[in-house]
Structure 1
Amino acid sequence: MLSKIVIQNYRTFRNFRLDFDAEMNILVGNNDAGKSTILEAIDLGLTGKLRGRPLYQDLSPYLFHQDAVGEWIDALKGSRAVPPPEIIIDLFLELTPETAALKGNNNLLKADEPGVRIRVALNPDYEAEYKEFIKHPAKVRLIPTEYYKVDWLAFDGNGVTFRSIPATASLIDAANIHLQSGVDYYMRHILNDLLVPDERVKLTRAYRSLRETFAEDESIVKINDALRGAPSDVSDRELTLNIDVSQKSSWESGIVPHLDDLPFQFVGKGEQSTLKILLALNKRVDDAHIVLVEEPENHLSFPNLGKLVKKISEKCKDRQVFITTHSSFVLNKLGLDKLVLLSQTEGVRLDRLPADTQNYFRKLSGYDTLRMVLARRSILVEGPSDELVIQRAHMDTHGGTLPVESGIDIINVRGLSFKRFLDIAQLLPQNVVAVVTDNDGKDASDVKQRYASYTAHPNITVHVGEDAAFKTLEPQLFKVNDRATMNAALGQSFTTDDDLLDYMKRHKTDGALAIFQSNQTINMPEYIKEAVDAVS
């Protein structure tokens, strides 16, 4: 199994390190955070190949971290002699009798451990050409990769091959699995299980007979007669059309599966994506120690995603798995403790979450935990009415700008599960989180005391209406606005405060939507304004 990876100057990573879980690693992050790059780097370290081709054949200036390239070019223009950037991927393996031969300290950490290294560096054989190239720094725009070489080494400094690494990886990306090869394998897999040898012989004979009768069709006979008489500038032999009946052209490649009478290529993208992932798992995982899965949720509905995640878990048991995802469902089902939130320098793990919180999200997997993880600034609320009112409060104080347009996520945690989400928030100090909750007739200080262990962290604040006589959001709004203001905002004409307040309590969401959409100037309760300020 892999224990960690260290990357230098590869794609989005200038200097990056990540320790791995021995079983499951769920990689999440915003776009361009490097999720796919991690899978690619692992595959590259274990196979020496990028997208199925040896790295030296696909070496590109754009594989280098652009800041490193920019600093090198600036140094050349400043007449400072600096070595050109190198790409290094160090992949550390657990120490076992099988990996002991790869042990050494030829790695970025200088640790005496087993592992393999990909190093892309200037080839000494081309040093003279390189020096000539940099004599004119004003013309240098990109790394001259034609002067580079790729070394694939063990940590002891010796070269390695695919056979000398006692760990194999299977990279599964439905977007890059060609449909026809998947269909062929799918048919062979099913038919090999169902057909006895005698039935396979009969099927082969029937398929050959169909092809042989093709040339006997009246229309094909006429076409071939015309072709025989046509002049040819290519060959003196007769030209005709027929179907290949040689052994290499068997029924296994000619028969296409149908789902509900539709050829496979015409079924929905979700069905295709699921099947291709499962085919790849069946085909590759048996011989792989490490399984890399790229965003399995693509094109899938919620229930189908649940089935796929379960099958991935079952099929990959006793293997080390790496999955990239944008789906909270995938994250919750496979385990928040396995999450890795990627930054440019490292991965933040949530493996210190309480066991009951992990189980809570596994059981109630529809929660938007990934929004919580990825949001740099968020406000947690009890329900949709709070969400709408807080959005209006933000718009009032920020020139009509919605919170999401300012990078603030308002997350409805469906009642009173704040502590579950705050268990996550306290492990992510870079994420600013505010909680907005009702006092429910209790003293505000008592309510805040329930969250004291969380608010001890500087990134977490809790905001509660101070007056216990005003238990929920609606009375708090009514407290700071008169009846005329609220009637105007709600499009109502109540003549007593009690009737208006009763309407607001009975129509919480409708009232909140009316307030959100109203042009009426509305005062916001102080605790709402404080929450907005806390994340702004």
Structure 2
Amino acid sequence: MLSKIIIQNYRTFRNFKLDFDPKMNILVGDNDAGKSTILEAISLALTGRLRGRLLAQELSPYLFHQEATAEYIAALREGREARPPEIIVELFLDSKTAPAELMGTNNLLRVNESGVRIRVALNPDYEPEYKEFIKDPTQVRLIPTEYYRVDWLAFSGNGITFRSIPATASLIDASNIHLQSGVDYYLNGIINSHLAPDERVKLTRAYRSLRENFAADDSIVKINEKLRGAPSDVSDRELTLGIDVSQKSSWESSIVPHLDELPFQYVGKGEQSTLKILLALNKKVEDAHIVLVEEPENHLSFSNLGKLVKKISDKCDGKQVFITTHSSYVLNKLGLEKLVLLSATEGFRLDSLPADTQDYFRKLSGYDTLRLVLARRSILVEGPSDELIVQRAYRDLHGCLPIEDGVDVISVRGLAFRRFLDIASLTGNVVAVVRDNDGTEAAEVQRKYAAHTVFPNISVHVGQDKTYKTLEPQLLKANGLIAMNAILGENFTSEADLLEHMEDRKTTCALMIFSSDQTINMPEYIRDAVA
């Protein structure tokens, strides 16, 4: 099993380190955070190949970290010493099971452990040509990879081959699985499972007979007679049309499975994606120690995704699994404690969350856990009416909706505030809580979150006057009877009647406030939160 990865100057990562869970690793992060890069780097270090070809054949200047490239070129042009950047990917293996020949200190940490590394560096044999090339720095626009070489080494410093590594990986990405090969494999699996040998023989004979009869069809006979007389400047032989009946062209490559009377390639994307992932699992995973799955949720509804996640979990039992995802459903069902939130330099694990918080999110998959994890700034509110008011307050202050500014407003109920803040205390994402005082002193409400507000990224905002228990009386207090009547299109003569109307129709009134073209005074605690 793999225990750790270190990546230097490869794609999105300048200097990156991540410890692995021995069973399940769920990688999440914003777009371009490097989720796919980690899977690719693991596969690269274990196989020496990128996209199925040796890395030396796929080597490109665009594999290097952009900042490292920019610094190298700037140093050249400024006349400073410019060391050509190197790509290094190191995988640390479990020393208890790894072969002794992989043990050594030839790694970036300089520790005596088992592992393998890919190193892309300037080839000493080409150093004279390289120095001649960089004499004119203006012509250097990218890393000159033509002067580089790829070394695939054990931590002992010895070169290795695929057979040297005790761990094998299977990378499964439905978007890169060719449909036709999947169809063939799917059909063959069904045939092998359900047809007796004599039935397979009958199928082969029927197929061959069908193809032989093709040439005897009257229309084909007439076409071939016409073709025989056609002049050709390529060959003196007669040209005719027929179907290949040789052994290499058998029914396995021609008969197409149908699902509900539709050819396989015409069924829905979700069905195709699920089937391709499961086919790949059946075909590749049996002999693999490590399974890498790229975003299994694509094209799938919650119900179908649930079935797929269960099958992935079952089929990969006893193996080390890495899954990239943007789906809270996948995350909650496989375990929040397995989550790895990616940053530019390392991955943050949430397995240090309290056990009851982990169980909470695992059971309540409807809560959009990843919204909090992925949003750099979030505002937590108590319900849909609060969400609408906070969005209006944000737009009034900043001139745009929160989501347009990268701020996610998330509706959270009851004790769930603390669950979400458990996550925020680890991720460092900025989170503001907006909640009612429910007739309690604001300071007392805020004390309930004292364990979380010690973190500088977390703040709790509560209405100060406990006689105004919830959002509606707070809004009425801030705007007054006349202004609130105008906003809601009502003509109540007493604040008590208007307040009763607002509390009976919370979401409807909140929507009218959100949509109103009139000036609205927001309660101070809401203004503080959106600021």
Look up the match of 1:350: 350
CA distance in 1, matches of 2:489, 2:313: 53
Distance 1:409 1:97 in 2: 45
> What residue number does 1:405 align with?
404
- 1:456 maps to a residue whose letter is V
Aligned with 2:39: secondary structure?
helix
Report percent identity of matched pairs: 75
Pairing partner for 2:441 from 437, 440, 443: 443
- Given that residues 46 and 162 in structure 2 are in contact (C-alpha distance below 8 angstroms), is that contact kept between their aligned partners in structure 1? yes
Equivalent position of 1:164 in the other structure? 164
Q: Which residue of 2 aligns with 1:274?
A: 274
Deviates more, 1:236-245 or 1:147-156: 236-245
Quote the residue 1:520 is aligned against.
Answer: 518
> Which of the residues 435, 453, 475 maps onto 2:473?
475
- Is residue 421–residue 452 contact of structure 2 (8 Å, CA) maintained in 1? yes
Contact 2:433 2:460 in 1 (8 A): yes
Match of 2:21, SS state, is coil
**Displacement of 1:98:** 4.0
Query: C-alpha displacement at 1:80, in angstroms?
Result: 2.5
Residue from 500, 503, 513 that aligns with 1:502: 500
Q: 1:248 to 1:135 in 2, by over 3 A?
A: same
Q: How far apart in 1 are the matches of 2:24 and 2:304? A: 21
Read off the aligned partner of 2:332 and give its amino acid letter.
N
Instruction: State the alpha-carbon separation in 1 of the partners of residues 49 and 463 from structure 2.
Output: 59
**Contact 1:93 1:99 survives alignment (8 Å):** no
Structure 2: how far apart are the matches of 1:141 and 1:506?
66
Matched-pair contact (CA < 8 Å) for 2:98–2:114:
no
TM-score for the superposition, normalised by structure 1: 0.97
CA, structure 1 residues 424+521, in 2 after alignment: closer, same or farther (shift >3 Å)? same
In structure 2, the residue matched to 1:154 is 154
User: Which residues in structure 2 correspond to 1:131-530 (within 5 Å)?
Assistant: 131-398=131-398, 400-429=399-428, 431-530=429-528
Amino acid at match of 1:475: P
Shift, 1:157, TM fit: 1.2
Corresponding residue number in structure 2 for 1:19: 19
Deviations 1:160-187 (A, max 9, x none): 1111111110000010000000010011
SS at 2:326 equivalent: coil
Output the CA distance in 1 between the equivalents of 2:185 and 2:357: 41
In structure 1, C-alpha distance between the alignment counterparts of 2:243 and 2:323, rounded to whole Å = 44
Q: Which runs of 5+ in 2 are unaligned?
A: none
* CA-to-aligned-CA distance 1:504-536 (integer Å, 9 cap, x gap): 001100100100111111111111112112xxx
Shift of 1:320: 0.5
Tell me whether 105-114 or 92-101 shows the greater mean CA deviation: 92-101
Q: Deviations over 1:100-150 (max 9, x none)?
A: 221111111111111111111111222221111111101111111111111
What is the TM-score with the length of structure 2 in the denominator? 0.98
Structure 1 residue 416 displacement after superposition: 3.9
Structure 1 residue 97 displacement after superposition:
4.2
2:182 and 2:276 in contact (8 A); partners too: yes
Question: Which moved further from structure 2: 260-269 or 408-417?
Answer: 408-417
Provide the C-alpha distance between the structure 1 equivalents of 2:303 and 2:470, rounded to a whole number of angstroms.
Answer: 36
1:445 CA drift (Å): 2.1
Which string of whole-angstrom CA distances, capped at 9 and with x for unpartnered residues, describes residues 387-408 of structure 1? Answer: 110111112222x321122221
- Note the C-alpha offset of 1:369: 0.7
1:466 deviates by 1.7
- 1:359 positional shift: 1.3
User: In the alignment, residue 441 of structure 2 is paired with which amino acid?
Assistant: D
Output the CA distance in 2 between the equivalents of 1:102 and 1:89.
15
Structure 2: distance between partners of 1:387 and 1:97: 53
In structure 2, relative to structure 1, the CA distance for the partners of 1:97 and 1:460 (3 Å cut) is: closer
Equivalent pair of 1:88/1:117 in contact (CA under 8 Å): yes
CA distance in structure 2 between the partners assigned to 1:505 and 1:391 by the alignment = 19
Equivalent pair of 1:153/1:160 in contact (CA under 8 Å): yes
Contact 1:388–1:516 (CA<8 Å) still a contact in 2? Answer: yes
CA distance in structure 2 between the aligned counterparts of 1:199 and 1:99, rounded to whole angstroms: 48
- Deviates further, 186-195 or 413-422: 413-422
Instruction: Provide closer, same or farther for how the CA distance between residues 20 and 224 of structure 1 changes in structure 2, counting only shifts above 3 A.
Output: same
Letter in structure 2 aligned against 1:173: D
**Runs ≥4 residues deviating over 3 A:** none
Q: What SS does the aligned partner of 1:192 have?
A: helix
Structure 1 unaligned regions, length at least 5 = none
Contact 1:438 1:471 in 2 (8 A): yes
8 Å contact from structure 1 (residues 273, 299) kept in 2: yes
SS at match of 1:362: helix
User: Could you tell me which residue of structure 1 aligns to residue 63 of structure 2?
Assistant: 63
SS in structure 2 at match of 1:171: strand
Show CA shifts across 1:9-65 (max 9, x none).
Answer: 111111111111111111111111111100000011111111111111111110011
Distance in 1 of aligned mates of 2:149 and 2:261:
52
**Could you say what secondary structure the match of 1:186 adopts?**
helix
When the two chains are superposed, the root-mean-square deviation of aligned CA atoms in Å is: 1.2
Q: Give the superposition deviation at 1:301.
A: 1.2
Deviation of 1:151 (Å): 1.0
